[in-house]
């Protein structure tokens, strides 16, 4: 097949996504918690963005990074959940090759960007605890803006080659994606030729993005803990650790399901039913985005105070 004929066929390819294989009869029931968490994720993160943007006391590095995380959470859940619900409710699993690749790119792009945001938030906590007197001088608005640009640029440079890697492959008849959304290896496995380059690039990209972020986050918190336990006052130690509590919860919420999903895919073999990692993948794109604003709202006094004032004004107006 020539390149031109392959390009023509790619424009005509339509895939059928099956949702969660083996649980088709339970799709309607599964859709209820997924839809509920998606609504909570969008509303909660939108409210968080509103609170940070309208409260001058929240115009600090920690909350600006939190705003980036909230925006990424909205995009992460929206990139996949509406189509997943269409499959569950209307059996509308059809998707063109171009739309599938577009969904794949944004899914991986947002995932890598969110990992980098969590690393930036870890650095923010490191500076706040280990170098408190230099905090304002180090994390200036200009620096935060540059960090945001660096996060977007890095994510784009890492994920954009995936588009070329799936377009270079030859596809010859496989049309069923046993998943509820499109991801890199899911598309690549439908090709007829070798996908070794896709596998090698996927592993390399993960090692030098998400895995590197995890290592740097661990180093940051090791330095933070060393600094905290050098503080003579126990009350001061507890206060310092409490400022990191929300971030640690969000980190565990983001990386743990992803890690379990990767383990299930790579090493589960035939011992783990196919629906288990796919169900994990579906929950992964809604649970962290839904819980992140709840975690920060419950543990951050400034956000609680602003939220209380907003609801007080709303009640008065009504």
Q: What is the pLDDT of residue 274?
A: 77
Query: Is 0.85 surpassed by the pTM of this model?
Result: yes
Q: What is the pLDDT of residue 57?
A: 81
Q: What is the pLDDT of residue 264?
A: 67
d(CA 93, CA 75): 21
DSSP per residue, the chain:
--HHHHHHHHHH-EEEE-SSTT-GGGHHHHHHHHHHHHHHHHHHHHHHHHHHHH-GGG-SHHHHHHHHHHHHHHHHHHTTHHHHHHHHHH---EEEHHHHHHHHHHHHHHHHHHHHHHHHHHHHHHHHHHSGGGHHHHS-HHHHHHHHHHHHHHHHHHHHHHHHHHHTS-B-S--EESSSS--HHHHHTTBSS--HHHHHHHHHHHIIIIIHHHHHHHHHHHHHHHHHTT-S-HHHHHHHHHHHHHHHHHHHHHHHHHHHHHHHHHH-TTTS-THHHHHHHHHHTTHHHHHHHHHHHHH-HHHHHHHHHHHHHHHHH-
Q: What is the pLDDT of residue 1?
A: 42
* pLDDT tens-digit readout, 72-121: 999 999 999 999 999 999 999 899 999 999 999 999 999 999 999 999 99
Domains of the chain and any CATH numbers: 14-304 (1.20.1070.10)
Ordered mean pLDDT values, 10 residues apiece, the chain (318 residues): 50 84 90 96 93 85 93 95 94 92 96 96 92 91 95 97 94 86 91 92 92 95 90 79 84 86 63 80 91 81 71 62
């Amino acid at each position: 097949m020539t390149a031109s004929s392959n390009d023509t066929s790619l424009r005509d390819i339509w895939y059928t996504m099956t949702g969660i294989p083996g649980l088709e009869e339970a799709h309607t029931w599964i859709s209820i918690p997924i839809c509920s968490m998606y609504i909570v994720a969008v509303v909660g993160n939108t409210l968080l963005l509103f609170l940070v943007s309208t409260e001058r006391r929240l115009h600090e590095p920690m909350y600006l990074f939190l705003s980036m995380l909230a925006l990424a959470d909205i995009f992460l859940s929206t990139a996949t959940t509406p189509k997943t619900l269409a499959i569950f409710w209307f059996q509308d699993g059809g998707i063109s090759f171009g739309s599938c690749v577009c969904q794949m790119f944004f899914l991986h792009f947002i995932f890598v960007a969110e990992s980098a945001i969590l690393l930036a938030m870890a650095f923010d906590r490191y500076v706040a605890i280990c170098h408190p007197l230099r905090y304002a001088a180090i994390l200036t608005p200009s620096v935060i803006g540059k960090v945001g640009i660096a996060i977007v640029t890095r994510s784009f440079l890492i994920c954009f080659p995936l588009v070329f890697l799936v377009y270079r492959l030859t596809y010859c008849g496989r049309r069923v994606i046993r998943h509820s959304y499109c991801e890199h290896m899911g598309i690549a496995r439908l090709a007829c030729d070798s996908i070794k380059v896709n596998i090698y690039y996927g592993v390399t990209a993960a090692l030098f993005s998400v895995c590197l972020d995890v290592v740097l986050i661990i180093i940051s918190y090791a330095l933070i803990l060393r600094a905290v336990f050098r503080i003579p006052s126990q009350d001061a130690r507890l206060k310092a650790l409490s400022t990191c509590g929300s971030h640690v919860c969000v980190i565990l919420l983001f990386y743990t399901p992803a890690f379990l999903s990767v383990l299930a895919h790579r090493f589960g073999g035939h011992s783990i039913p196919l629906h288990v990692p796919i169900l994990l993948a579906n929950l992964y794109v809604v649970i962290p985005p839904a819980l992140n604003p709840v975690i920060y709202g419950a543990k951050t006094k400034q956000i609680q105070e602003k939220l209380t004032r907003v609801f007080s004004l709303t009640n008065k107006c009504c």
